[in-house]
Amino acid sequence: MRGPLGFSFANVFLTPQGSVDAPKVIHESVPRKSPMHEKCRFLGLFRPFEAVIHRLQRALSVSRPRLIPTFSTAVNTWQCDENDHLNVQFYTEFGHEASAHLLAELGLGPRAQRAAGLDVRAADDHIRYLREFREVDPVAVLSAPIEIGERHLLAYHEIRNPGDGTVAATVRRRIVCDRPWPAAFRARAEAAIVPLPDNARPRSVGKLTLPDLALDDAARRGLIEIGRSVITPAECDERGELLPHHQFGRYSDGAPLLWNHLGFDRAAMQDRGEGSVVVEMLSHYRRPLRAGDLVVVMSGLAGFTERVLTFTHFLFEAETGMLAACAEAVGMKLDQKIRKSMTFTSEDQARLGERQLRLAA
């Protein structure tokens, strides 16, 4: 349908188990001995009667012999957020580093790119958050191309917890090159292609057409400021450009301000045992940001149902007003005690309708 946003969106939001408009519970992690860790559960949703079946399906989907090992680490304390689990930005970092290793396995690592004079960069990331990582959990990423074109490659990254064999997240990254791929690289990529698994396909994102706004237009379209900062050298890659996960980090850091704007006192929610979770994101990298650039994040509510919110984030370079990146994020309100998504009251929905974006000119 087309809302008052100036772009089209669907009013049905799906998870791997179907519509999130029905009551759901949150995937529980495998129990551990330490009670400290019992605070952290995660985001993927399923109906109660589907729990056992879904666990079996998840376990069977892990073994994919054609996937290439591309990244490994363990979760550090400083990477975890107020929910005591890995912050969403680091899934992007894992996928970013895995992409470099995947390209190298296909014959086009960073040294080969420099030797060939190629400009290779990420264009967008689609991430499904299926299960949490906690402090000291091991992380492994397995990858493969799923599509290769003249100047683009779609990469699939499966982020796993090798300790229990589960898939914690999936990343689908579109990588672009300023010139046609070398023939040998393209041939190797074509030979390595695998089908995209169902749990990595877009469910609730990709239905919006986000406009190429300027910063001066953002406030009158209903967007509010949730972050203002400076890009530091430590946040940049070898080219001096902002790394993708730091864009995700800015969206995540400002999210409580957006919830407050929508009339939900985020601190009071926490006191009541109510949280907010993100289950899927789609981020577009439109123009590079560099060390020293001033940035502003403007965000808003693109759509909602009685249980689900779809947010949009726009990251601007402040001096010129240029749009550098934008994203869709699907989230919901969570009852942390019974691990179920919460229904928005009629008063909540009336307020959300009043504060929904107006991106049309």
Answer whether 88's CB lies under 8 Å from 43's CB. Answer: no
- Integer Cα distance of 149 and 179 in angstroms: 11
Task: Return the closest-CA partner of residue 84 out of 133, 33, 140, 27.
Answer: 133
274: left (phi over 0), alpha (psi -120 to 50) or beta: beta
Q: What average pLDDT does the chain have?
A: 83
The domain defined by 62-202 carries CATH number 3.40.30.110: no
Q: How many CB atoms lie within 10 A of CB 86?
A: 26
- Integer Cα distance of 172 and 200 in angstroms: 7
Answer whether 240's CB lies under 8 Å from 233's CB. Answer: yes
Q: How many CB atoms lie within 10 A of CB 127?
A: 26
Confidence check: pLDDT of 106 > 70: yes
SS3 176: strand
The token pair that represents 70 in the structure block:
């591309």
Task: State the DSSP string of 272-332.
Answer: TTEEEEEEEEEEEE-S--BTT-EEEEEEEEEEE-SSEEEEEEEEEETTTTEEEEEEEEEEE
Span(s) in the chain for CATH 3.10.129.10: 62-202, 204-361
Task: State the DSSP string of 19-36.
Answer: ETTS--EEPPPPP-S-GG
CB-based burial label for 121 (10 Å; 0-12, 13-18, 19+): middle
Q: What is the pLDDT of residue 65?
A: 61
Give me the mean pLDDT over the 242-265 stretch. Answer: 94
Give how far the C-alpha of residue 218 lies from the chain's centroid of Cα atoms, to the nearest Å. Answer: 22
Residue 289 corresponds to which amino acid? Answer: L
Q: Which residue has better confidence, 213 or 132?
A: 213
Specify the DSSP class assigned to residue 3: -
299: CB partners within 8 A, 6+ apart: 223, 224, 226, 251, 254, 258, 311, 312, 313, 314
Distances 298 to 72, 81, 219, 252 between C-alpha atoms, Å: 34, 22, 8, 12
The token pair that represents 295 in the structure block:
């940035």
Q: Which residue has better confidence, 272 or 175?
A: 175
pTM of the predicted model as reported, rounded to 2 decimal places: 0.81
Beta bridge partners of 311: 301, 329
Task: Grade residue 17 by pLDDT with cuts at 50, 70 and 90.
Answer: very low
Q: pLDDT (tens digit, 9 = 90+) per residue, 178-195? A: 999 999 999 999 999 999
Q: pLDDT (tens digit, 9 = 90+) per residue, 59-90? A: 334 445 699 999 999 999 999 887 778 888 99
Confidence check: pLDDT of 285 > 80: yes
The token pair that represents 147 in the structure block:
């599509």
Task: Return the closest-CA partner of residue 318 out of 194, 215, 226.
Answer: 215
Answer whether 337's CB lies under 8 Å from 294's CB. Answer: no
SS3 160: strand
The CATH number fitting domain 204-361, selected from 3.40.1800.10, 3.60.130.10, 3.10.129.10, 3.40.50.300: 3.10.129.10
